[in-house]
Chain A
Amino acid sequence: MTMITTIITEIPRMFDDLVTRATLAGAGLSLATGPLGCFVIWRRMAYFGDATAHAAILGVALALATDLPVSLGTLVVALAMAVTVAALAAKGWAMDTVLGVLSHSALAFGLVAVSYFPTVRSDLSSWLFGDILAVGRGDLTWIWLGSGLVAALIAWRWQALLTATLSEDLAQASGLNPARERLVLVVALAVVVAVALKVVGALLIAAMLIIPAASARWLARGPERMAVLAVGFGLVSVVLGLQLSLWQDTPAGPSVIVAAAGLFALSGLWAALRDR
């Protein structure tokens, strides 16, 4: 009886601890960035992820200007950017150039736009590099909802996404619609950007997608294993990065990515020794 009371009173209190909240936020995010990051790598969408993430800053400005919740503003602008890029890609534009133009323009426009809001201006680095230690309960709910949605979406479309990623022609000949699967990934990317902004910041969202998935590639022999390992690498990066941040008083978002990069090196080293 006392144990149950303890659990009931302790669990909500657990969320009061900012490191616990930060860890849970990072864990929730990893659930989405793991599998989505695999597709970003397989489909060579790295730069695409960057462009969408950079658009998030513009979303912050839009939200502040219109009194919308920041998450909603980010989602709308990230979605608009992702759909634009996908549409241009489908029309056969030179993607390297187009993404270069859109990605940097979105960032520059966003930075100029938020400079009109003094509150943001003073705290710009938290949007660029994340402020995971400031994640509140509301943020946590939003992160888990968004990430859960993305993970569920990818799990649901998994077979079709894999087929379309291997070959759009094969997918189409099997009666699938590759354009729809591309749209699934575009929407997933926009949602991840919106929920990840608070955690790792606009500049490092793409890193959170790519680095854990790349680490997983060294060790995986199947696509499912790679996705699961990518979630694991993301999770461990968050835990290690937050500890680094607390210990050395470094910014949390970059610390998480530093940890992810360290794991990538270790994973690669392990694979090299294994295959020697």
Chain B
Amino acid sequence: MPRLPGSGSVMARANAGAKGDPAVPLLRAVGICIRFGGDEVLHDISLAIEPGEIVTILGPNGSGKSTLLRALLGILPLSKGSIARAPGLSIGYVPQRLVIERTMPISLRRFLSLPARVSDGRAAAALQRVGLEGKGGLQMAALSGGQMQRALLARALLSGPQLLILDEPTQGLDQPGEAGFYRLIGEVRSETGAAILMVSHDLHVVMAASDRVICLNGHICCQGTPQVVSTAPEYRALFGMGTSGALALYRHDHDHDHNGSQDHHCGHDHDHHHHHGNPPHV
């Protein structure tokens, strides 16, 4: 299995945390708010991503998941709050989708060399890692949905990221494809030690694949380990109960109380749900 670049430094960082240093988060957001025009899409979001952990942001459509990722990436301006990154943090980003203009001829191999050119050897290793070995000559416009997601992941891995940010990476994939992709993400984490922050709205797979889950609906409703979150009342209000959760998600009608100071879901009043643990094992 090819070893991906950047893994050394990340492992070192994660190990340093495990030895008892106060864990330095890769990324820390404090009290961020995002407005589009007059509409407040996100408010009072505070979160930290520790080295090596897999964090999933969960929320119904329109809950601001993609917006939050784009803000953390520095694509969207904050109307309030701040984001601090670990010095020299390298981030790999896999967007929700990438539409290639048919007017642009570009092969998968060439795509991997954007924005920084990479050697053929490294490109081949990255393609093999995501299961696209020998496909470098394909035109990007000819890739299937699943191939495109893997291509985007391969490109993100080539920057040797300490943090991988994925926006609904399995959208448009069938269930085996989805399961395969999450397995791949897990493998990447254990090989490179990169932390992973992803957005999803498919509950069951996510719960199994994550160290920590953040429930989002304009603000952080609750967060913690999958076990803790799945029993939290805030989570149930959002996603329903038990195995019917996945269905409930789509029927969710946003009618639970989210108003201002009465909002007992929001803010700091359920710290007991938060995951304050040691940096996860790598």
Contacts and interface: CB of A to CB of B under 8 A. Distances in A.
Contacts of B115: 159-160, 162-163, 171, 174, 176
A173 B103 CA distance: 24
Contacts of A42: 101, 103-104
A167 B104 CA distance: 12
Interface in A203-236: 217, 220-223, 225-226
A221 B107 contact: yes
Interface residues of A, number: 25
B105 A226 contact: yes
B105 to A, nearest CB: 5
B74 interface: yes
Contact of A166 (B70, B73, B98): B98
Interface in B104-126: 104-107, 110-111, 113-117
B139 interface: yes
Contacts of A165: 104
B114 A163 contact: yes
B74 A172 contact: yes
A68 interface: no
Interface residues of B, number: 25
A166 B104 contact: yes
B159 interface: yes
Contacts of B104: 42, 165-166, 223, 226
B139 A221 contact: yes
A169 interface: yes
Contacts of A162: 106, 114-115
A232 to B, nearest CB: 15
Given A163-B114, A163-B115, A169-B95, A174 B107 contact: no
Nearest to A42: B104
Given A159-B115, A174-B115, A167 B95 contact: yes
Contacts of B114: 159, 162-163, 166, 170
A184 interface: no
Nearest to B99: A167
A222 B105 contact: yes
A41 interface: yes
A217 B159 contact: no
Contacts of B98: 166-167, 170
B54 interface: no
B181 interface: no
A273 to B, nearest CB: 18
Contact of A170 (B95, B106, B113): B95
A173 B139 contact: no
A168 to B, nearest CB: 8
A163 B110 CA distance: 11
B106 A223 contact: yes
Contact of A173 (B91, B110, B117): B91
A223 B110 contact: yes
16 contacts: A159-B116, A162-B106, A163-B115, A167-B95, A167-B98, A170-B93, A170-B95, A170-B114, A173-B73, A173-B91, A173-B165, A217-B105, A220-B105, A221-B105, A221-B107, A225-B105
Interface of B: 70, 73-75, 91, 93, 95, 98, 100-101, 103-107, 110-111, 113-117, 139, 159, 165
Given A159-B115, A159-B117, A162-B115, 4 more contacts: A163-B115, A170-B114, A174-B115, A222-B110
Interface of A: 41-42, 44, 159-160, 162-163, 165-174, 176, 217, 220-223, 225-226
Closest 3 CB pairs of A and B: A173-B93, A163-B115, A163-B114
